[in-house]
Structure 1
Amino acid sequence: MTLPRDYRGQSCALSRAMEVVGERWTLLILRDAFLGVRRFGEFAAHLAVPRAVLTDRLATLTAAGVLQRRPDGGRREVYVLTDKGRALWPAVRALSDWGDRFYPSQGGGPRRVYLHAGDDTRVGEDGCCTGCGAEVPVGDLVVAPGPGAAPAGPDADPVTAALARPHRLLTPLLPRTSVSKRG
């Protein structure tokens, strides 16, 4: 039996937020969108999520105004975080940090670290640069492999392979030509 998408009888802000971001796969889709994943095929390959589920989650996030579909310069469209979607960064980051703290990777330490693009210094869990002390907006963050990152193997999907190098958040992770015609 499928669970309902709403929390009937609940009127708090958390229940309303969970109606948008609380379904399985949704937070991972959002994480990937922050990392620069933009195309359906990229999400599908990196997450290994069933295509029907991915279609549903992307439609829900788009209808809620968290993602926006835009032309990519060709026949296809890409998914881009809106201002409303970018406002979810502190929650996505906090959950990732919580996971690193209580469920660390086998490699020891976080899989990803965040750096301030302005001075290439690590950004703490509080969102502030450990070098200059400034609060760093999501668009000024660079994600880099951390000490717990496993090396991308030869069979890694293009997103996993690209994440083996530092990359500025919110910028396209892969060039337009890197995804098959199906994606």
Structure 2
Amino acid sequence: MELFHGFSDILTLIGRGEMKHGKRHRAEVSRSLPQWERKFLAYKALKRKLKLTNPNSNGRNRVRSGNLPTQDMGFKQSLNREIDKVNTFYLDKEEDYIIMLRELESRAENLNGNDEEMLELRRELLDFYSEMVMLLHYSVINFTGLMKIVKKHNKRAGGAVQSSYMPRVLQQPFFSTELLYNLIRGCEATLERLSPPNDP
């Protein structure tokens, strides 16, 4: 039984344009786990902040109002805060999932043959599995939003943010999904052990 088809499949959807800023998947996550709604990258707020920076035209900054370095610094500070927020939430969830998987695996190993208890454990494992997959979507949605807002900044004010941020983005904890991927596989393995012999 293999329920999860891999992180690369979700990234492929982005490449095909089937996840325009992840709106559909974000709606799915928010509907299933509404308490996560405020934990996403605040894309719209960053976009509003970006509009306060002066555009770069023909290599020259056209100053409309205020001070460009101050405005640009404000955008970067907001972007850093959003990245920190997403990282904190993601890492906290990973830590919770490590503990939860150990507890569920321990219960699976100590089942006494009670069918009702086994069915309840399978339901809990499936719910747990679904939430971990949601966290994977959360990672991709935030990465997509971050890429998009940095690209918008690059077009408006030059490439400084893109060149300095993109190497960092690829190393952010919320985009380093190997541990989460392993937890998902571990959950699948436990579900497999609890599946009846004739279960497809």
Please give the TM-score of this superposition, normalised by the length of structure 2. Answer: 0.26
Question: Which has the bigger relative contact order, CA under 8 A and spacing at least 6?
Answer: 2
Please give the TM-score of this superposition, normalised by the length of structure 1. Answer: 0.27
Query: Which is greater in Rg?
Result: 2
